[in-house]
Amino acid sequence: MTDLTRNREIVQTFYKNMHRGDMAAFLAAIDENITWINKLSPPIPFGGVFEGKEATLGYFAKMNEAIRMETFEIESVIAAEDGIFVTGNETSLVKATGNRYTMEWIHMVRVQDGKVVYLREFNDSATMMAAF
């Protein structure tokens, strides 16, 4: 099995565990020094750069305070030399406004020594902002 294939399988399992809410598996899959990036502008309250497991957990806490994800679907997982690219879509409810948004997204994930060390989200922030 090549490194690209192995890393692709690690990322697929990572997303399955995250989607199921298996926090033990999620935490086991991410590196202590993970960098998680989701650059979003106000009024969206959970954008930023999060360094390390604790900060990443803080990101999810902020996100879960602000939205309730109703659907989260993965469309493709593409292995490339620079990382694994995951495409998908989600529908979420903004708790403060009662508005929903549906958007497509792309995540770039890097794996090192069997752990997720980097994840960068590219979201349709205009669609998100309209719901906030």
In the prediction, which pLDDT does 71 show? 96
Please tell me the distance from the alpha carbon of residue 113 to that of residue 118, in angstroms, as a whole number: 12
In the prediction, which pLDDT does 1 show? 74
Stretches where the chain sits below pLDDT 70 are: none
In the prediction, which pLDDT does 21 show? 87
Please tell me the distance from the alpha carbon of residue 106 to that of residue 83, in angstroms, as a whole number: 12
- pLDDT, tens only, 79-94: 998 899 999 999 999 9
Render 42-101 in DSSP notation, one character per residue: TT-TT-EEEESHHHHHHHHHHHHHHEEEEEEEEEEEEEETTEEEEEEEEEEEETTT--EE
Please tell me the distance from the alpha carbon of residue 11 to that of residue 4, in angstroms, as a whole number: 11
In the prediction, which pLDDT does 47 show? 97
In the prediction, which pLDDT does 99 show? 98
Tell me which amino acid residue 62 is.
Answer: K
Task: Provide the whole-model pTM.
Answer: 0.93
In the prediction, which pLDDT does 109 show? 98
